[in-house]
Amino acid sequence: MANIENTYNYGRQKLWQAVHSLATGTGNIQERLESAMMGLNGLQSNQEWLPVEVRHKLEAIIQELTRTPAQGSEGRIKATLRMMSNEEGSELAGRIFSLYIELRGGI
């Protein structure tokens, strides 16, 4: 039987990539959130890599980041981030960080 801790290694890796993009990426918070979404999108399609309670929180974050209808060829994420304030972006970045900490088992 596989160790349950190892089951979530991929999820931890993808959330770490998102957190790393948010902390060290260049650009404003909206640009860093766009970069962070690359890792989060991988988790959205492979949800078995996350415990159920973390999946639901991730889904809520992704819904927030895709709430604005796309215009032209920009896509929902870009459209949403274009309309997002710095405060909203910082709040979402904090939620992504909290997910990573939760999946790691705390600080």
As given in the structure block, the two tokens for residue 38 are 């690359």
Of 6 and 63, the one with more pLDDT: 63
The model's pLDDT over 7-45, given as tens digits with 9 standing for 90+, comes to 788 888 999 999 999 999 999 999 999 999 987 887 776
For residue 4, the model assigns a pLDDT of 55
Report the amino acid identity of residue 6: N
For residue 1, the model assigns a pLDDT of 37
Give me the domain span that covers residue 83: 4-104
DSSP string, 17-65: HHHHHHHH-SS-HHHHHHHHHHHHHHHHH-GGGS-HHHHHHHHHHHHHH
The model's pLDDT over 46-102, given as tens digits with 9 standing for 90+, comes to 667 888 888 899 999 999 999 999 989 999 999 999 999 999 999 999 999 999 999
pTM, two decimals, is 0.87
CB-CB neighbours of 41 under 10 Å: 15
For residue 49, the model assigns a pLDDT of 80
Confidence class of residue 3 from pLDDT cuts 50, 70 and 90?
low
Give how far Cα 37 sits from Cα of 47, 58, 65, Å: 15, 11, 9
Q: How far apart are CA 61 and CA 5, in angstroms?
A: 24
Name the domain count of the chain. 1
